[in-house]
Structure 1
Amino acid sequence: MPELPEVAGLSAFLGTQLRGAVLTKIEIVSFAVLKTAVPPYTALEGRTVTGVERRGKFIIVDADGLYLGFHLAKAGWVRYTESPSNAVLARGKGYIAARLEFARRQPESDGGETHLGIDLTEAGTKKSLALYVVRDPQEIPGVASLGPEPLSESFGPEAFAGILSGSSQQIKGLLRNQGVIAGIGNAYSDEILHAARISPFAIAKSLDPQAVRVLYHAVHSVLGAAVEEAVGKAPNELKDAKRSTMRVHGRTGQPCPVCGDTVREVSFADRALQYCPACQTGGKILADRRTSRFLK
């Protein structure tokens, strides 16, 4: 699932490429992806892109005061091209959920008008990618309910400590909760907890002040480095960049790059977490929930 760093990279890339371009055509291939009816999506056509921003895991395209927002969910992605295809897309088939075409006026010396294209794609059979056309981004339910941005200047150590002190949730789940903190998902919560040397099953309010401070700085260091790595890259480079920086997530059975212990996994119905026993749990192996046993 794309998380804050990759979405920040996508937002920066799209902002650079699309700002000043006119959205000439939008084609909804899978109507399940469109979550709003008013204003109609066709109202976007003919409008100029004035900006692109990220809110949590959402990308918001400002089309001259009308907003196109989308969330890539678990298996969605953005495919960008400077040679848009004229091929007819079959509705309800394939992995393309929506196609957008743009035109940018260039000086005649630079070839005149250029055309750009974006496909919103989604792999797999479970379709969760969501697209919204709204007059205000706050009309998107997932945006309106977002918690604070973890890298914003207003989100200081005290605010973070206050969130943890009032929660009986396991720290892994709390970090992933978009209504508590925006943008962190399964992968980066694994990486943050590994950097902070904290068990994913630790209860948030049980962490002592020193652990909270370490965790706060891990949030900033892990996400900050990942955003720096992502911004400036094209969409087709972002996934490999993400995988190359992971220390424990997606590396079950491999040696921990910090201590050399074997990275372990706990599986759930639709996801899995990874951790290092030596770094995070005092050497204890957390029981896989598939066995219905828990080790604290």
Structure 2
Amino acid sequence: MPELPEVQALAERMTAACAGRSIAHVEVLSFQVLKTFDPPISALDGQPVAGVGRHGKFLDLSTGDLSTGDGPGLHLVLHLARAGWVRHRDSFPARTEPLRAGRGPLALRLTLDDGSGFDVTEQGTTKRLAAYLVSDPRLVPGISRLGVDPLSEDFTPDVLTALTAAAHHRLKTVLTDQTVLAGIGNAYSDEILHAARLSPYALAPSLGEEEHHRLYVAIREVLGEALDRARSTTADALKAEKKAGLAVHGRVGETCPRCGDTVRSVVFSESSLQYCPTCQTGGRVLADRRLSRLLK
């Protein structure tokens, strides 16, 4: 799943590709992807692109002519979910008839006035990618509920202390709760906890001052370094670069790069977490409920 670093890098690349351009046409090719109906998607035709921003893991393509003060106007907001992606195209193949909806991974195509544009795709059979056309991004329910951005100036050590004190949940849950911290998902939460040498099962309010400090530094450094790597990687290689830069997430059975212990995993219904027992849990192996059920 694209998380804060990848989404931010995509936003910056899309902004550069859209500079000075207007939208020629947007085609919605997946029946369930567009979650709004007013204004219609055709309202984007002819609109100049003001830029592409980010709210947590949401992309926000805004329109309007900022040089004249006429904008931003409409916002095409995308949530890429687990298997969505955006690919820039210098041009599109010539065709004699419209694209047919509901076939293949292509969910939405945005064509710019110079013939270039973007394909928004989603792999797999479970379709969760979402697009919204709104006058204000805060009208998107997921954005209106977002917590603080962990790479913003608003995110300070004191803010983190207040958030964990009020959370009453395990650290893994707190880090991935978008109403608490916007943009961190399953992969980078594992990486942050490994870097901070904290158990994913530790209760957030129980952290001491030194543990809070380690957690804050890990959040900023893990996300900041991942963003630097994403910015220096081509768009098509972003997913592979993300995986290559991970120390524990997705590496169950491999060796921890810090201590040499074996990376372990706990599997849930639709996700899993990875951790190092030596670095994070004092050598204790966390119970894997799925494995426990199989052994009964």
TM-score by length of 1: 0.93
Supply the AA of the counterpart residue of 2:275: Y
Matched, 1:91 2:104: no
Alpha-carbon shift at residue 291 of structure 1 (Å): 3.8
**Conserved? CA contact 1:12–1:232, under 8 Å:** no
Residue matched to 1:134: 134
Deviations 1:48-100 (A, max 9, x none): 10111111000000111111000000010112110212344221121111111
1:123-162 residue pairs with structure 2 within 5 A? 123-162=123-162
How far apart in 2 are the matches of 1:282 and 1:93?
50
Q: Given that residues 58 and 71 in structure 1 are in contact (C-alpha distance below 8 angstroms), is that contact kept between their aligned partners in structure 2? A: yes
Deviates more, 1:50-59 or 1:87-96: 87-96
Q: CA deviation at 1:238?
A: 0.7
Aligned twin of 1:246: 246
Gaps of 5+ in 2: 65-72
Matched with 2:214 is 214
Match of 2:67 in 1: none
| Identity within the alignment, % | 49
C-alpha contact 1:252 1:265 (8 A) present in aligned 2: yes
In the alignment, structure 1 residue 192 sits paired with structure 2 residue 192:
yes
**What SS is found at the alignment partner of 1:31?**
coil
Task: Give 1:260's aligned residue.
Answer: 260
Q: Which residue of 2 aligns with 1:48?
A: 48
Asked if 2 retains the 8 angstrom alpha-carbon contact of 1:70 and 1:130, the reply is yes
The secondary structure found in structure 1 opposite 2:132 is strand
- Number of residue pairs matched? 283
Change in 2 beyond 3 A, CA 1:59/1:10: same
Match of 2:68 in 1: none
Write the distance in 2 (CA, Å) between the matches of 1:86 and 1:119.
15
Letter of the aligned partner of 1:52 in structure 2?
A: V
Distance 2:128 2:74 in 1: 23
Question: Which residue of structure 2 aligns with residue 108 of structure 1?
Answer: none
Q: 1:13: Cα distance to partner?
A: 0.4
1:232, distance to aligned residue in structure 2 (A): 4.4
Question: Structure 2 matches for 1:57-206, cutoff 5 A?
Answer: 57-64=57-64, 65-87=73-95, 88-103=98-113, 114-206=114-206
Q: Answer with 231-240 or 92-101: which moved more.
A: 231-240
Structure 1: give runs of 5+ residues left out of the alignment: 104-113
CA offset at residue 33 of structure 1? 0.3
Per-residue Cα deviation, 1:124-165 (whole angstroms, up to 9, x for no partner): 111000000011111111111100000111211001000101
Q: Distance in 2 between matches of 1:200 and 1:69?
A: 32
Q: Aligned with 1:34: secondary structure?
A: coil
- Matching residue of 2:15: 15
Query: Contact (CA 8 Å) 1:19, 1:52: kept in 2 or not?
Result: no
Q: Distance in 2 between matches of 1:291 and 1:210?
A: 34
Give the 3-state SS of the residue equivalent to 1:166 in structure 2.
helix
C-alpha distance in structure 1 between counterparts of 2:89 and 2:260, whole Å: 42
Tell me the amino acid that sits aligned with residue 251 of structure 1: R
Match of 2:86, SS state, is strand
AA of the residue aligned to 1:100: L
In 2, distance between residues paired with 1:39 and 1:155?
Answer: 35
Partner of 2:69: none
After TM superposition, the runs of 4+ consecutive aligned structure 1 residues lying more than 3 A away are none
Distance 1:58 1:169 in 2: 25
Letter in 2 for 1:277: P
Aligned equivalents of 1:39 and 1:19: distance in 2? 24
Where does residue 111 of structure 1 map in the other structure?
Answer: none
Summarize deviations over 1:105-140 as a string: whole Å, max 9, x none: xxxxxxxxx421211100111100000001111111
Name the SS of the counterpart of 2:59 in structure 1.
Answer: strand
Are the aligned partners of 1:13 and 1:232 in contact in 2 as well (CA < 8 Å)? Answer: no
Is the Cα contact below 8 Å between 1:9 and 1:233 reproduced in 2? Answer: no
In 2, Cα distance between equivalents of 1:60 and 1:184:
17
How many Å separate the matches in 2 of 1:124 and 1:201?
31
Please tell me the root mean square deviation across aligned C-alpha atoms, in Å: 1.2
CA distance in 2, matches of 1:17, 1:289: 47
Give the letter aligned to residue 75 of structure 1. A
